[in-house]
Amino acid sequence: MKSSLAWGKTESKNAYMFLAPLLILMSTFVFYGIYFVIKISFFKWDGVMLDGMKFRGLRNYKLLFTDPTFFKACFNVLIFMAITISIQMILGLILAVLLKPKLPGHPVFKAIFYIPAALSTTVIAQIFMQIYEPNFGMLNSFFQFLHLDFLVQNWVGDPKIALYAIIIANIFQWTGAQMVFYIAGLTAISDQVLEAAQIDGAGFWTTLTKIIFPMLMPTHTTVIILGMIGGVKTFDIVWLLTKGGPGNSTQFLATYLYKYSIVEFKAGYGATIAVVMILLSVSLSMAQNNIYKKSKA
């Protein structure tokens, strides 16, 4: 009995020793960083000179929650998440189902569809800058070639459509990643279930909507929550294509944070935006865990 207790204590001690480096790094670069961001959200600071910090209490938060640009950024994030998540889920699921029968060359097709997700966002943005270029871009040139001049647009320069141009670029980049999630989810569905559906006369769409879709609920949950967290912190594709413009029409929380913290040297106000983003991300992560536990119960 004593030997088993001693073994248990030794095992626990070894586990803590292996965890110690990670805990030290997390404490230094993550937890302290979060603490510092929360702290400076109560100060007026240029982000450069520490002796120039001036305490201003909750004034930053008051300014934030009365700033119409902040609510515009929140609205843009909601629209972005609603469209990108739903379309990426649908396309990713369809691609996964079509590639599941292991058609000839299916590894090549999987790789092709996943390539955009593996590329740097800078590369994706450069591709779409060439596509959206208003004078000689591929999209407008294509419409002109078909004599559909009424479809020619300034895709990232028009406040009415710039957000949707970014959404299309994001869907192109990340649909392949959702496909991988769904391929992994499909492996948990028994082939016997699908064969029984075929014997009963169920077609492709019936099998997809009545059998496969409900059985992939844990995968749906993961894809949705990850998409929502990704939407909250989306920055690179927006900044590279529009920098939040024109006229704040594509302003996101992350670009809004960058604008004040880096461009305008208002680190205290920028930290306030960061605190809101942290709270949103933590809330969504907690929701993911709760929903996943319920789906497993």
Q: Is residue 35 part of a domain?
A: no
Overall average pLDDT of the 49-53 stretch: 80
Share of the chain above pLDDT 70, in %: 93
pLDDT at 78: 93
CA distance 126 to 112: 19
Q: How confident is the model at residue 214 (pLDDT cuts 50, 70, 90)?
A: confident
φ/ψ (deg, to 5) at 43: -125, 160
Q: Which two tokens stand for residue 275?
A: 């605190």
Domain of residue 66, CATH code:
1.10.3720.10
Structure-model confidence comparison of residues 53 and 101, the more confident one: 53
**What average pLDDT does range 235-242 have in this prediction?**
94
Reported as a pLDDT band with limits 50, 70 and 90, residue 19 is: confident
116: containing domain = 60-296
Whole-Å CA distances, 290 to 58, 82, 140, 178, 293: 32, 21, 46, 21, 5
Q: Which residues contact 276 (CB under 8 A, 6 or more apart)?
A: 64, 253
The DSSP string of 176-225 is HHHHHHHHHHHTTS-HHHHHHHHHTT--HHHHIIIIIHHHTHHHHHHHHH
151 part of a folded domain: yes
Q: Is the pTM of this model over 0.95?
A: no
Q: Is 6 part of a structural domain of the chain?
A: no
Residue 36 is assigned to a structural domain of this protein: no
Give 256-296 pLDDT, tens digit per residue.
999 998 888 899 999 999 999 989 888 887 877 777 677 66
Asked whether residue 101 is domain-assigned, the answer is: yes
Query: Given a cut of 70, is residue 109 above it in pLDDT?
Result: yes
- Amino acid 273 reads I
Kindly indicate the confidence band of residue 79, based on its pLDDT and cuts at 50, 70 and 90: very high
Residue 140 forms part of a structural domain:
yes
Instruction: State the total domains in the chain.
Output: 1
| Position 53 in a domain | no
Q: Is pLDDT above 70 for 6?
A: no
In a domain, 155, yes or no: yes
